[in-house]
Amino acid sequence: MAGPALLTLQNITLTFGGTPLFEGADLSLAPGERVCLVGRNGSGKSTLMKIAAGLVEADGGTRFLQPGATLRYLPQEPDLTGFATTLAYVEAGLGPGDDPYRARYLLEALGLNGDENPVSLSGGEQRRAALARALAPSPDILLLDEPTNHLDLPAIEWLETELSGLNCALALISHDRRFLEKLTNTTIWIDRGRTLRLGQGFSAFEQWRDAVLEEEEKDLQKLDRKIVAEEHWVRYGVTARRKRNARRMAELATLRSKKREHRRVQGNAKMEASEAEGSGSQVVLAKNISKSFGARTIVSDLSLRLMRGDRLGIVGPNGAGKTTLINLLTGAIEPDSGSIVLGTNLALVTLDQRRAALDANRSVEETITEGRGDTIEINGSRRHVVGYLKDFLFTPLQVRQPVSALSGGERARLLLARALATSSNMMVLDEPTNDLDLETLDLLEELLSDYKGTLIVVSHDRDFLDRVCSSILMAEGDGRWIEYAGGYSDMVAQRGEGVKARSVEAKSKAREQKAAAESAKSAGPAKLSFKEKHLLETLPGKIDAMGRDIEKLRTALAEPDLYTRDRTRFEKINALLAKMEDDLAKAEEEWLALEMKREEIEG
């Protein structure tokens, strides 16, 4: 450690309902220390961080924060209520001596301009604003719960650089292996109510964890042998025939109690994809395809061939057109020019990790079976839904519960279970790693490596792309897409760099806006026309309505068997969704331009 601890949790105990969540958990953060909290979904990572932040009170134990130390916490679901703009929200987190410029700098680096109304922000935009608020004061202690959620690759790599340059004590919860490997030097493993500390970063964790579990298994085997020996003495010992020894009997009872109360490691999920008959050897052939929406070019002169068994990763910043490209490659929408030929006998399944795809009022069982009985068919075999969901770590009690009762990680596993229950020979996975713990990620990667069909993956998780993909299709800008052999790291090696950093794009956009404003100012006074004033008043309501309509379409599109049951409807919804998403982007850009013009005139 670099000095006395700034924050200490000792012997923390906490119980929710039956099984204790923590039984003597510890955590300490020293200046410059970078800790990652790891553990299975439901192990209590977020709760322990909330206790560290002073937001949750433990049943027992002590929390000590060095007097005068500043602490900032990034929750998974931030609350921006009561603030007129994102800039006001971030500035409210600054202290008397903090630099006010950092608030706007961080917002722009994260893709916001500071003038957004928090009421109209998406969940991802709210988290970006909350991340800017946490970073702006340069605190002594920084607690970040899933900071990479909803960030694209440029923003993730920018955040890595920003955090690397801070001198504060840092505690992280994240499912992004590469992010943890680059930033941490200490690991806290939360396992069955206790905390185990490793004085190395995440890169050493998995090997250490396996060694700990192996040693624990050896101890359990020794305990089993000792119990057998004691039971043999009780039953057959010469002394036992005359008078049982009270001490030996008490020891046996203690051993049995110890084994009975031992909390074994939670079982791993078992994943199996329901595979359809094989597709043709050529799955997708795209020749010189182009697609534009108005003046915005999404794809320009792209030629691509996907063969059966290929694993294509699609990467690029938010707004690059990844969703539109998927719709083109799966035949959901037609290109403006060029041609797309799909292979024969395709059975497509799409995994969309947006939680809007789940009906919160439906039970877990109904979500899997669509209300049709209590069994499903996996690779020709009928399975009871309780047994199938048990493979994904759901208890029989949870199977009857509504989706609204599930945690974020449990909902992610439910989406996986529903998608994998659908027969397919082609999978489109949109951000499949969101909210999954590291062990479940390992199993998903193993399943995909055994999957005989074709994969198209959209992800911002670099480690997942390296482990799963055989090639990467990279958005180069202006509608250009280039395919690179290998995973994400291979793409970076061939290209010389990753996805362009968001901070560079933000600065470039700011310069362009400033130049346009100065040009308009030099041209003389201006005013808004009647039409422009009307649009300024009506566009926000229109944008909100469009957002609601888009969510409805996404929910309809997420029906697990829609593609195979009614491909015409699937294609119609997909095409309408692509058009509405583009219309929404145009409406937002139009409103932003008018708002900037109004501010320039009034200012």
Kindly report, residue by residue over 289-339, the tens digit of the pLDDT: 999 887 788 999 999 999 988 999 999 887 788 888 988 998 888 899 999
pLDDT at 600: 66
Q: Provide the greatest CA pair distance for the chain.
A: 112
Query: Residue 1: pLDDT above 60?
Result: no
Q: Which helix (H) or strand (E) holds 241?
A: helix 238-242
pLDDT at 510: 40
pLDDT at 179: 93
Determine which of 12-16, 346-350, 452-456 has the lowest per-residue pLDDT on average. 346-350
Any bridge partners for residue 10, and if so which? 62
Starting at the edge strand found earlier in the chain, the sheet holding 426-430 runs 348-352, 426-430, 454-458, 311-315, 471-477, 480-485
pLDDT at 103: 92
Contacts (Cβ under 8 Å, ≥6 apart) of 219: none
Q: Which of 29, 24, 28, 30 is nearest to 11 (CA)?
A: 24
Alpha carbons 434 and 413: distance in angstroms, whole number: 10
Q: Which of 14, 10, 3 is nearest to 69 (CA)?
A: 3
% of the chain with per-residue pLDDT over 70: 81
β-strand pairing of 311-315 with 454-458: parallel
pLDDT at 141: 95
Residue 58: CB atoms within 10 Å: 20
The residue whose two tokens read 């010189």 is 288
pLDDT at 388: 84
Q: Where are the alpha helices (DSSP H) in 451-566?
A: 462-468, 488-495, 502-522, 530-557, 562-565
DSSP three-state, residue 498 = coil
Query: How is residue 32 written in tokens?
Result: 């410059």
Query: Residue 505: pLDDT above 50?
Result: no
Query: Residue 506: pLDDT above 60?
Result: no
Query: Residue 348: pLDDT above 70?
Result: yes
Q: Which helix (H) or strand (E) holds 572?
A: helix 567-602
Alpha carbons 107 and 119: distance in angstroms, whole number: 17
CB-based burial of residue 522 (10 Å sphere; 0-12 exposed, 13-18 middle, 19+ buried)? exposed
Mean pLDDT on 585-592: 77
Query: How is residue 45 written in tokens?
Result: 């990572």
* Greater model confidence, 468 or 354: 468
Alpha carbons 400 and 119: distance in angstroms, whole number: 34
pLDDT digits over 16-29, tens only? 766 788 999 999 99
pLDDT band at 357 (very low <50, low <70, confident <90, very high): low
Query: Residue 148: pLDDT above 70?
Result: yes
Alpha carbons 100 and 111: distance in angstroms, whole number: 18
The residue whose two tokens read 């396992």 is 191
pLDDT band at 511 (very low <50, low <70, confident <90, very high): very low
Count, residues in the chain: 603
Q: Which of 62, 19, 63 is nearest to 44 (CA)?
A: 19
Domains, the chain, in order of start with CATH, read 7-207 (3.40.50.300), 282-500 (3.40.50.300), 503-602 (1.10.287.380)
Alpha carbons 556 and 558: distance in angstroms, whole number: 5
- What are the DSSP E strand ranges found in 371-479? 375-378, 381-384, 426-430, 454-458, 471-477
Q: Which of 123, 118, 111 is nearest to 152 (CA)?
A: 111
pLDDT digits over 228-286, tens only? 665 555 554 544 444 445 555 555 456 555 544 544 445 455 555 655 556 678 889 99
Alpha carbons 364 and 92: distance in angstroms, whole number: 41
pLDDT band at 169 (very low <50, low <70, confident <90, very high): very high
Query: Residue 504: pLDDT above 50?
Result: no
Determine which of 95-104, 360-369, 477-486, 570-579 has the lowest per-residue pLDDT on average. 570-579
Task: Give 78's Cβ-side CA count (13 Å radius).
Answer: 30
Q: Where are the alpha helices (DSSP H) in 281-384?
A: 322-329, 364-369
DSSP three-state, residue 480 = strand
Q: Which helix (H) or strand (E) holds 37?
A: strand 34-38
Strongest mean pLDDT among 55-64, 109-118, 429-438: 55-64
Question: HEC string of 61-112?
Answer: EEEEECCCCCEEEECCCCCCCCCCCHHHHHHCCCCCCCCCHHHHHHHHHCCC
pLDDT digits over 550-575, tens only? 878 877 777 767 767 777 787 788 77
Task: Give 404's Cβ-side CA count (13 Å radius).
Answer: 4
pLDDT band at 353 (very low <50, low <70, confident <90, very high): low
C-alpha distances (whole Å) from 114 to each of 108, 118, 159, 319, 395 are: 7, 10, 18, 19, 45
pLDDT band at 227 (very low <50, low <70, confident <90, very high): low
Mean pLDDT on 407-411: 74
C-alpha distances (whole Å) from 32 to each of 1, 29, 147, 182 are: 8, 8, 19, 15
Q: Tell me, what amino acid is at 529? A: S
* Greater model confidence, 186 or 412: 186
pLDDT digits over 177-224, tens only? 999 999 999 999 998 889 999 999 999 998 898 888 888 777 777 766
Q: Can you say whether residue 541 is alpha, beta or left, with left for phi > 0 and alpha for psi between -120 and 50 degrees? A: alpha
Mean pLDDT on 437-464: 84
Give yes or no for a contact between 44 and 19, defined as CB atoms under 8 angstroms apart: no
Contacts (Cβ under 8 Å, ≥6 apart) of 267: 393
pLDDT digits over 154-168, tens only? 888 889 999 998 889
Alpha carbons 420 and 266: distance in angstroms, whole number: 22
Mean pLDDT on 37-42: 84
pLDDT at 474: 92
Query: Residue 492: pLDDT above 70?
Result: yes
Mean pLDDT score of the chain, rounded to an integer? 80
Query: Residue 416: pLDDT above 70?
Result: yes
Alpha carbons 356 and 496: distance in angstroms, whole number: 38
